[in-house]
Amino acid sequence: MLIRPAGREEWEDALALVWKVFLKFEAPEYSEEGVKSFYNFITDNTLYRMFLVGSYEMMVAIEDKTIIGVVAVRNVSHISLLFVDEKYHRQGIGRALIRYVANYLKTEVGAEKLTVNAAPYGVAFYHKVGFIDTGLETMKEGILYTPMELLM
């Protein structure tokens, strides 16, 4: 497995993986409004333009030329997306993506912490890799999340 910054030509495949995993593991916990909000977020052209100019960074985990995991960061050190293909769950891919992005941000921009708004399905994972809750579970635009941070 290789983890590296996503190329421009990988944007659509990466977001297709995100959507597929979201529908399977997160959407069942969300209202129709939440599913629509998430879809609108990942299909917004503004997000793609931010990616093209480097203000929305995306890293991908690749195996056999296929994207098997995605992590994206906005506002310097906030994890906006973290998704791993179902076939690769519980194999350390998510942990490796977190480690990669943490090292990258610490080295490249001097970030001292990573933050995330963890979906209910991901809360246990984030706790397992060292994140701590910084607030109570919250809902915004139908999206349920727990704010967390990881000190680096």
Tell which residue, 137, 117, 142, 145, has the closest CA to residue 34.
142
Tell me the per-residue pLDDT of 2-52, one tens digit each, with 9 for 90 and over: 999 999 999 999 999 999 999 999 999 899 999 999 999 999 999 999 999
**Domain chopping of the chain, boundaries:** 2-111
**Alpha carbon distance 134, 96 (integer Å):** 23
Tell me the per-residue pLDDT of 140-149, one tens digit each, with 9 for 90 and over: 999 999 999 9
Q: What's the pTM value of the predicted model, to 2 decimals?
A: 0.94
Q: Nearest 5°: phi and psi at 122?
A: -95, -10
Query: Which residues neighbour 54 within 8 Å (Cβ) at sequence distance 6 or greater?
Result: none
CATH number of 2-111: 3.40.630.30
Alpha helices by DSSP H, the chain: 11-25, 32-43, 45-53, 93-109, 123-128
Tell me the per-residue pLDDT of 107-130, one tens digit each, with 9 for 90 and over: 998 999 999 999 999 999 999 999
